[in-house]
Structure 1
Amino acid sequence: MSEVRIPEGYKQTEVGVIPQNWETKNIGKDATLKARIGWQALTTNEYQSTGNYYLVTGTDFNAGEVQWDTCWYVDEWRYKQDLNIQLRIDDVLVTKDGTIGKVGYVDELPKPATLNSGVFVIRPKYNSFVPKYFFYVLTSNLFKEFIRNITAGSTITHLYQKDFVTFNFPVPPKKEQTAIATALSDVDNLIGSLEKLIAKKEAIKTGTMQQLLTGKTRLPEFATREDGSAKGFKQTELGRIPEDWDLVELRDLLSYEQPTKYIIDGNEFLEDGTTPVLTAGKSFILGYTEEAHGIYRSLPTIIFDDFTTATQFVNFPFKVKSSAMKILKPKSTSVPIQLIYLLLSNIDYKVGDHKRHWISEFSSLKVRLPNSSIEQNAIATILSDMDAEIQALQQRLEKTRDIKQGMMQQLLTGKVRLAH
């Protein structure tokens, strides 16, 4: 077997091939690793909803940040009980129970804070590495692989200190550590901005749906009569609706088809393919297949899960995982299928007093619907455009996350250098 060629300027180490001027560090030798020790454990009645001293748990990490508004509080004596776990700016946190290996970084301290027994705090000894750089090391594949190796075959979800202290990681010179951490932080900031923008757009869409799909707010061109006077409302079993709207049962808008011929065989799953497989539960894509079997191609349609009442607007061809998925086809093109789907997204599915929602019950549900096909299309277009904008932002978010993963793989291994 031929030897693996080491590029010029690089060297082989226990953490792989890294630049010559990089070092390998070890948690046990180059960092302190502290946690709340057993006899200091808190009881549940010590968790307080208000106070002056935060108690940080693993559930308070989100995308590496500590969410202070979700933290509990503890008494002052509990905070002062152990100096080693009183949090400081630049502390790196790792969960050791439950979902192990979840990583957090302390970039602010609104109030004094301590840890519960399920979290480690890691700090460099003698300034041996930049904490934010180390935070990104712990979110990389190197640490994820380390966790997989030490937990392989174990049913106990616990990260033991005796195992954690064996973790080795590559460390460039300080200037390069800072440059790498800054570059990845900039991408994280972009990701956070996109997430906030998407949440804002989704909230706006939800509010717009609640107004337009109920007739509470009319588009200006449909809000007045020919003489210019404002259109009124009429009372129905679903409350007030515009005078030129009606209540329509879903059975009048959609036809139902048994999903039997679309159910996938177990040996047809692929990691990728042309045809998505939808699963019961949340109507999400479970996998792919090359088998089309989607013979009804003239119109898009709606998938309805009669156990959870989740819905998804899809185009053929597709396949489904179980018969709990119901296929609902538009009866005609007179009402936009996008509008019917949006109406389904805005109504209460609570029918019957049992877990499963039978198609007969579902079909009898009523929705508010404009009489005018022009108004129907106008509403559908506005909300579909909002959906398209959100989807474009979500695609950009996913692409940015992929870019970050690629950057981490290159920068944290020294394959790409930012500073020398």
Structure 2
Amino acid sequence: MSARPHLLYTAWSFPPSRAGGVYRALATVNAFAESGWEVTVLTVPRRLLEESTGTDERLEARVHPRVRVVRVDADVPAFQNDISAWPRRRARHQEIWKLSDLWRDLVRFPEPNYGRWRPSLERAAEQVHRSHPVDLAIGTANPHVDFIPGWHLERRYGVRHVMDYRDAWQLDVFSGRKLITAIPAVGRWERRMMSTATEIWFVNEAIREWHASTHPRQAARMRVVPNGFDEYEAPLAVPVRDDRASGLTFGYIGTISPKVPLVALLDGWRIARASSPELAGARLAIYGYLGHFGGADAGFAAALERARDDGVTFEGPVSKATIGETYRGLDALVLALGTGRFVTSGKVYEYLATGVPIVSVHDPSNAATEVLRSSPAWVATRSLSPSDIAEALAGAARMSASQTDGERRAAQEWARRFERRRQLAPRIAALEALVSR
């Protein structure tokens, strides 16, 4: 038996998943492994990822060799896309079948589609603990059923556990209102699990404050553990592009979800390109997926097609492992986010690491504004009106065209504070001290 402390980490989204939360999960387990921990991960089978969000095989190669991955089956009908394999009752009466199937989740855990995973996770956590005693369990959400193994091991064996919220279970981070899925059982389960957690992590102060006011008895154990940037095969700190004088290239990298103000961005781009000399001949390259799941969203694809005459191109997804190469070809970065004072986005930290000028295309009240506020390479929009977006794009063009090598390096140095390991190091040290006692 190893003398190293043993972490059990639960994440629905884990490599080779390409879902947004996978990067925090990967960085966390790697940071613990590099700090001397043995790590076991509970996650879903590869086939489920292939049938839902899609996969990034190169990302899987970044998992630390001391991390053991245990894939726990999760029978989730929402991701079963082969209609020929459906039961006859489901194929003929989909809505009735969906309502009756929902009960399979709610009787186990109050989370549609994912609640049924609870029994399998509890069994898997026990098996891991029996074969190699667990010193600490962390679950990262969503889904929030990821918190179950830690809560279960604490209840049965006194294992310390941490709840890592990438989002929120009851709070709509865009509207600031409670989610429709925040039924009374959700509140009860959240209080139950928080009451036994050693620490509770949130990605920004606004979300932490909301939860502290909702669960005041647990506020003292709540921590802000921001997202950060990760470097893989290609460095993120890229140089100023040599041939920018022949025409600037703006870039957006990330999933285009319904919350992203894509239409407003394209309208603002059209105005700016037609009226600003700095944007003459410029192009806007969109990288990523059109929607969270495998197939491209038809509405997004149509909007991008209409914008082709304005110098907008859709380049498709890029591997996170080599994303630094993509940044080398860009002169300005577009940070387009959904509106909400609780919204930060992990992408903002990666953008900052490059030192490339950033233009914000999101509401100024977003939590991301606080991260960017003192950056030496940032241009904000006053609102999401096309004219204000156009003005911000023109300002970013001027900054991009004039940025010197020294200014680029200064922006990169300023951003080093957001390296992911720096964000995690204090918490790993504190938790290691606790379990060693």
Normalising by the residue count of structure 1, what TM-score does the alignment of the two structures yield? 0.23
More helix by share: 2
Structure with max Cα Rg: 1
Structure with the higher fraction of residues in strand conformation: 1
